[in-house]
Amino acid sequence: MRFNALESMSFFTSNNTNVNRGSTRKSTNLPTMAVVKLFGTWLSPYVYRVIWALKLKGISYEYIEEDLSNKSPLLLQYNPIHKKIPVLLHDGKPICESTVILRYIDEIWPQNPLLPADPYDRAVALFWIKFADDKSPLLSKLYRTEGEEQQAVVKEWLEMLEAMEEHALIEGKKFFGGDEINMVDIAFCMVAYWLGLIEDFAGLKIFEPHKFPRVSAWIQNFKSVPVIKDNLPDTDKMFALMKHRREMLLTSKSN
Amino acid sequence: MEDEVVLLDFWPSSFAMRVKIALGEKGIKYKCKQEDLFNKSPLLLEMNPIHKKIPVLIHNGKPISESLIILQYIDQVWNHKSPLLPSCPYQRSQALFWADYIDKKIYGIGRRVWMGKEDQEEAKEELMQCLKTLERELGDKLYFGGQNIGVVDVALVPFTTWFYSYETCGNFSIEAGCPKLVAWAKRCKENYRSVSEALPHPLQIYEYVMELKKRLGLV
C-alpha cells in the first residue's frame, strides 16, 4: 500500500496490531499492547528511515504530519532539545534522532534484525551509519546553494560516493546488509532516492552510474525492495515543492 | 590466545580519552601508540582510511573507529564488568541520544571558543547553553549513568579537562554558570581511577592549545 501522507494525513493502528515485545509470534488477535506513534513530515528521508524500519518489522503505527513552520506543542514537548522530526512515541515515551530511533526499534522488535549480532560486524555497520548521518546535511546544502558554494558541496558528494564505492560496498553483495537490507542501507537512502530528485530540479549531474557501478547496482536493488518501493514520497509532488523552495531561497538570498 | 588490543592515540584528544576510560573500567590491557596528527603513521592511514583520525582501537588486528562506536564495541565484547550502556532499551536510547548530543556540540563549539576568532562571543554563549542543558539532564543524579558512570559520563568528562583552556582563552567561568556540572566532573575524577588516569592535567591541555594557536598563527 503506497504511503502518501498528503492524501491521508494520519492513519490509525488497526485492531490487529502486532506490537511484539521481543517475541516473534505472528499476532492476529493480540490486544493492542502499546501505541506507536510517529511524528514526521512527508518528504523527509529521516522520517522514511523510521517508516521502513517499522514496516520491515511489521509494526503498526499512527502517523502524525508536522508543519515545520508551525511546530505542534506535542512535538516541542517530545523533542525539546532539537525540536525536530522524526520523533517516535512508544508507550507514551519519546525517542528522538532517526538513528537512535532505528536502534530502539531494532531492540524492542528483534524480528528481521537491522544490525549484525557479531560485535565487529556491528561496529563496522555503525561506522557506516554514522558516516551516512554525518554526510546527510549535504542533501539540503545541495539545493540551498548555487555557483561556487554549490560546487564545493558537489565535491563533498563525490567524495562520499567514492567512499561508498571503494570501501563500503563489497563486490557481489546485493546490499550493505548482505542478502537483505539492514540499517546501513536505510541510512544511505538519500543517495538512492533524494539525490536524483535534487539533481533533476537543480539541473545537476553528480551521480554517473558508470563511475560508481557498485553504488548504482545497490540503488537499483534498494529501490526494488517491496517495503522501500511501496513507501516513498510522491515524486512529482516532492519535485514541485523542492523546486519551489529552492527558487524562494535563492531569490531571498539575492535580495 | 590472549587478546591483542592497541589504541592509536593522541594524548590531548577528548575522543581518545573516552576510549582509555572504557578500557580502564573494563580492566583491559592494551598498547597505546601516540600519533602525530601532522605526520600520520602508515598504520593509522591503513586502519582508518576514510577519516584518517584517532582514536582507532585495533583488536586482534581488526580496526574500530569513531569513539562512541569503540565504546559500544568494548561494552559488547568485554561485558563481564562495568556496563557502560543501560540494559533497558528505552534508557539505552536516551543514553545514545545524549552521547550523540555531546558529539554534535561540545568539540565544535569548544574549538571556536579557544580559537578566539570573531565568533568567540557567540561560541561562548552556545557552549554555556549546551553545558546548562547537560547539567539539567544530570539533575540530582550522581552521574549521568545513575549510581555509576555510563556512556554519557564517559563521552563528556574528557572535555572537562579542556574547560580551563576554554575559560582562559574566552575569559569567562564555566563553574560560575554550571557549578553542578563542574562538581560532577570532580566526582568522576575522584571516584574513578580510569577517569583520573585518562585525563591529562588541564594546564597540560592549555600548554598544548597555546602551541597549537601559535602553529595556526592565532597568537
Report the topology of domain B89-216.
Glutathione S-transferase Yfyf (Class Pi); Chain A, domain 2 (1.20.1050)
Q: What share of chain B in percent tops pLDDT 70?
A: 100
Architecture of domain A119-254 in this structure: Up-down Bundle (1.20)
Pick the CATH number of A36-108 from 3.40.30.10, 3.30.750.24, 3.40.50.970, 1.10.1510.10: 3.40.30.10
Q: Which of A183, A197, A63, A60 is nearest to A128 (CA)?
A: A183
Residue in the structure block whose three cell numbers are 556540572: B181
- Rounded mean pLDDT of B11-39? 97
From the list B208, B102, B218, B105, the residue with the least C-alpha distance to B165 is B208
List chain B domain ranges: 5-77, 89-216
Q: What is the pLDDT of residues B128-171, one digit of tens each?
A: 999 999 999 999 999 999 999 999 999 999 999 999 999 999 99
Nearest to A107 among B62, B89, B97 (CB): B89
Span A203-227, mean pLDDT? 95
Predicted pLDDT at A203: 87
**Is the predicted pLDDT of residue A19 greater than 70, yes or no?**
no
Measure CB to CB from residue B97 to each of A96, A119, A120 and give the nearest one: A96
- A residues 54-93 lying closer than 8 A (beta carbon) to B: 81, 90, 93
- Mean pLDDT, rounded, of chain A: 86
Residue-wise pLDDT tens digits, B66-94: 999 999 999 999 999 999 999 999 999 99
Identify the residue among B71, B76, B97 best suited for mutation to test binding to A, counting A beta carbons within 10 A and taking the highest. Answer: B97
d(CA B113, CA B127): 8
Predicted pLDDT at A111: 95
CB < 8 Å to A93, chain B: 90
Chain A contact present for B92, CB below 8 A: yes
Q: Minimal Cα–Cα distance from A182 to chain B, Å?
A: 17
- Contact status, residue A46 vs residue A70, Cβ threshold 8 Å: no
For an interface test with B, give the residue of A97, A101, A118 to mutate (most B CBs within 10 A). Answer: A97
Position A95 scores a pLDDT of: 98
Rounded mean pLDDT of A180-200?
94
Handedness of CA A38, A184, B156, B101 (dihedral sign): negative
Domain with CATH 1.20.1050.10 in chain A: 119-254
End-to-end CA distance of chain B: 52
Please check the confidence at residue A243 and state whether its pLDDT lies above 70.
yes
Taken in order A89, A93, A98, A101, is the CA torsion positive or negative? negative
Q: Is residue B96 less than 8 Å (CB to CB) from chain A?
A: yes
Which of A19, A79, A84, A104 to mutate to test binding with chain B, by most B CBs within 10 Å of its CB?
A: A104
Instruction: Calculate helix-pair angle for A137-144, A147-163, nearest 10 degrees.
Output: 150
A84 Cβ contact partners less than 8 Å away, ≥ 6 residues apart: A96
Q: In this predicted structure, what is the pLDDT of residue A157?
A: 95
Is A139 in CB contact (< 8 Å) with chain B? Answer: no
For residue A97, the chain B residues in CB contact (below 8 A) are: 97, 100
pLDDT exceeds 80 at position A146: yes
Q: Which residue has the higher pLDDT, B134 or A139?
A: B134
Q: Does domain B5-77 have CATH number 3.40.30.10?
A: yes
Does B97 reach chain A within 8 Å, measured CB to CB?
Answer: yes
Only one residue has cell 519519546, namely A94
The predicted-structure confidence for A67-89, as pLDDT tens digits, reads as follows: 999 999 999 999 999 999 999 99
pLDDT bracket for residue A33 (50, 70, 90): low
* Three cell numbers written together for B64: 574500530
Is A1 a residue whose pLDDT tops 80? no
CA–CA gap between residue B74 and residue B84 (Å, rounded): 9
State what percent of residues in chain A have pLDDT above 90.
72
Distance (Å, rounded) from C-alpha B83 to C-alpha A129? Answer: 23
Is A126 in CB contact (< 8 Å) with chain B? yes
Q: Do B50 and A126 make contact, defined as CB atoms within 8 angstroms?
A: no
Q: What's the mean pLDDT when you consider all of chain B?
A: 97
B121: helix, coil or strand? helix
From B69, B100, B133, residue closest to A100, measured CB to CB:
B100
Residues of chain B in contact with residue A137, where contact means CB-CB under 8 angstroms, are none
Q: What is the pLDDT of residue B1?
A: 64
Question: Does position A21 have pLDDT exceeding 50, yes or no?
Answer: no
- Residue A245: what pLDDT? 86
Helix (H, G, I), strand (E, B) or coil at A167: helix
Q: Poorest-confidence range of A28-32, A49-53, A132-136?
A: A28-32
Cβ atoms of residues A37 and A88 within 8 Å: yes
Rounded Cα–Cα distance for residues B192 and B82 (Å): 11
Please give the residue of chain A at the shortest CA–CA distance from B129.
Answer: A81
Cα A88 to Cα A93, A168, A198, B208, distances in angstroms: 8, 29, 27, 43
For position A143, what pLDDT does the model report? Answer: 85
Residue limits of CATH 3.40.30.10 in chain A: 36-108
Q: How large is the C-alpha radius of gyration of chain B?
A: 17
Q: Do B69 and A123 touch (CB under 8 A)?
A: yes
* Alpha-carbon distance B204 to nearest alpha carbon in chain A (angstroms): 31
The verdict on a CB contact (< 8 Å) between A108 and B89 is yes
